[in-house]
Amino acid sequence: MSVIPPLNSTLLGRVEDYYAHISVIALTLQKPVRVGDRLQVLGHTTNLEQAVDSMQINHQAVTEAGPKDAVGIKVNGRVRRGDYVFTLQG
């Protein structure tokens, strides 16, 4: 891993795709996540922290998702393919 994980964080996965026109990242989860959880996206030039406000699986809105689910999450900034996505605790 080329980034330093934030304290009290869990790796959710890596950005597989970023859809700039709708500000959505696509990733396959390694751990569960829920709407309302705090995320941090880190990469070579990325450092974005926000709450999960909107999440979809197969274009259907969901409030939670588990490991191995392929999800789309709305983000509030530009991220890049390959960036790391963490959930923040506390």
Encode pLDDT of 64-74 as tens digits: 999 999 999 99
Does a structural domain hold residue 3?
no
What is the tally of structural domains in the chain?
Answer: 1
Encode pLDDT of 23-60 as tens digits: 999 999 999 999 999 999 999 999 999 999 999 999 99
Residue 2 has pLDDT above 80, yes or no: no
Q: Which residues of 27-64 are buried (b: 16+ CB within 10 A; e: fewer)?
A: bebeeebeeebebbbbbeebebeeebeebbeeeeebee
Q: pTM to 2 decimals?
A: 0.94
Domain that holds residue 51: 9-88
Q: Which helix (DSSP H) or strand (DSSP E) does residue 27 occupy?
A: strand 24-28
Contacts for 60 with CB less than 8 Å, ≥ 6 apart = none
Does a structural domain hold residue 83?
yes
Contacts for 53 with CB less than 8 Å, ≥ 6 apart = 35, 74
